[in-house]
C-alpha cells in the first residue's frame, strides 16, 4: 500500500482506458482543475449513488472549472454498462491492475464485519491546474460526498 497523498504533492501521472477503451491521461486536463475519485465497483449501490451525484452536479462543477474522473478496478466493458444503465456523464476509467489506485493511496487494507482485506478505499483527490494535489480525502462516504465537496470548494 502506498502513502496517502497530501495537499501540495504532485498528482501521479496516469493514462488509463475509458469505458470505450480510449486512453485518457491526467495530462489531457492540464490547465483545468480535476476531481479524481476512486470507487470500489461499478453497478453497486453506493458507487452508483456517488457516480449519479457527480453526473447530476457535472454542469455546476464544469462551470467552476472542474473536470471529473472516476476510477475503479473494473474493466472498460463493465464501465460502459454502468454508464449506459445509469446515464452517467462523468469520465469513467478502468484500472484493473490497480496501479493508479495504488499510486494515489486509494487501495489498501480495509475492514468489514471484523474481517481485514485489501480493497479500494473510496477516495477523492482534487488536482489543481498545475497538477498539484489541492485536497486529498480518504474513506469518504458515497452518499452526500459530492455536496460536501461542492461546499468545501466554495462552488
Which active-site residues does the annotation give?
47
Cα–Cα distance, 40 to 122 (Å, whole number): 7
**Pairing state between β 107-112 and 115-120:** antiparallel
Residue pair 100/113 in contact by the 8 Å Cβ criterion: no
Report the residue count for the chain: 155
Residue 33: phi, psi to the nearest 5? Answer: -85, 145
Of 29, 19, 21, 1, the C-alpha closest to 11 is 29
Q: How many CA atoms lie within 13 A of 2 on its CB side?
A: 14
Of 90, 96, 98, 109, the C-alpha closest to 47 is 90
Tell me the three cell numbers of residue 94.
478502468
Amino acid at each position: 500500500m502506498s502513502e496517502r497523498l497530501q495537499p501540495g504533492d504532485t498528482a501521479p501521472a496516469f493514462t488509463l482506458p475509458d469505458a470505450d477503451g480510449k486512453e485518457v491521461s491526467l495530462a489531457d486536463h492540464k490547465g483545468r482543475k480535476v476531481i479524481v475519485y476512486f470507487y470500489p465497483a461499478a453497478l453497486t449501490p453506493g458507487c452508483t449513488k456517488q457516480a449519479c451525484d457527480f453526473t447530476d452536479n457535472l454542469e455546476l462543477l464544469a462551470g467552476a472549472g472542474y473536470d471529473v474522473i472516476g476510477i475503479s478496478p473494473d474493466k472498460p466493458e463493465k464501465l460502459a454498462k454502468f454508464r449506459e444503465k445509469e446515464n452517467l456523464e462523468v469520465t469513467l476509467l478502468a484500472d484493473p491492475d490497480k496501479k493508479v489506485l495504488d499510486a494515489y493511496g486509494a487501495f489498501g487494507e480495509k475492514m468489514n464485519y471484523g474481517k481485514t482485506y485489501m480493497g479500494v478505499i473510496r477516495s477523492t483527490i482534487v488536482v489543481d491546474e498545475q497538477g498539484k494535489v489541492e485536497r486529498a480525502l480518504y474513506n469518504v462516504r458515497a452518499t452526500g460526498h459530492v455536496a460536501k465537496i461542492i461546499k468545501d470548494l466554495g462552488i
